[in-house]
């Protein structure tokens, strides 16, 4: 599913002018045309709908205190992932609410999670926040530069 989310992010969110809105039907058709399976497309679009719902529900909620990870979270998010989340929060890229949404969406992938995948999930989540353009640009640069280092 992450591959579909990455495709949607790169094709329809990052490289799309804000004034152009692409419908879900158009996205679905393009995803089918490039070879993604209908069931995977449905799961990815549901994942994005859930992300939007979480964003709306938690938009104004402030969270204070120390984050203690559950046994399931520790099992699915290795120390490198937890360190990455902490670094994003300490640098102001994520706040406590967006961190929780990143964790929720990462666990919702139902796929193995490593720091590379978590970076992409963080990028998708952050792309849904208005007013976080600088943070999004920084994270986008980090994710894409890390990805290009792996491919070269």
Question: What is the tens place of the pLDDT at every residue in 30-65?
Answer: 999 999 999 999 998 888 888 887 766 665 555 666
Model pTM above 0.75: no
Read off the pLDDT of each residue in 115-127 and give the average, rounded to a whole number.
Answer: 91
What pLDDT does 14 receive? 66
Question: b or e along 36-62 (b: 16 or more beta carbons within 10 Å of the residue's beta carbon)?
Answer: beeeebebbbebbeebeebbeebeeee
Q: Examine the pLDDT at 110 and tell me if it is beyond 60.
A: yes
Read off the pLDDT of each residue in 79-100 and give the average, rounded to a whole number.
Answer: 92
- Helices (H) then strands (E): counts for the chain: 8, 0
In angstroms and rounded to an integer, the radius of gyration of the C-alpha atoms of the chain is 15
Dihedral angle at the C-alpha atoms of 27, 29, 35, 40, nearest 10 degrees?
A: 60
d(CA 144, CA 137): 10
d(CA 88, CA 51): 19
What pLDDT does 151 receive? 43
What pLDDT does 20 receive? 58
What pLDDT does 18 receive? 54
């Amino acid at each position: 599913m992450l591959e579909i989310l990455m495709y949607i992010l790169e094709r329809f969110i990052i490289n799309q002018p804000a004034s152009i809105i692409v419908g879900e039907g158009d996205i679905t058709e393009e995803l089918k045309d490039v070879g993604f399976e209908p069931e995977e497309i449905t799961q990815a679009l549901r994942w994005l709908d859930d992300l939007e719902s979480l964003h709306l529900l938690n938009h104004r909620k402030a969270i204070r205190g120390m984050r203690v990870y559950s046994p399931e979270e520790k099992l699915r998010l290795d120390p490198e992932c937890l360190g990455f989340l902490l670094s994003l929060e300490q640098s102001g890229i994520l706040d406590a609410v967006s961190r929780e949404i990143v964790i929720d969406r990462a666990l919702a992938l139902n796929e193995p999670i490593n720091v590379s995948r978590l970076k992409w999930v963080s990028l998708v989540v952050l792309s849904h926040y208005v007013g976080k353009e600088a943070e999004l640009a920084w994270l986008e640069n980090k994710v894409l530069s890390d990805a290009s280092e792996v491919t070269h």
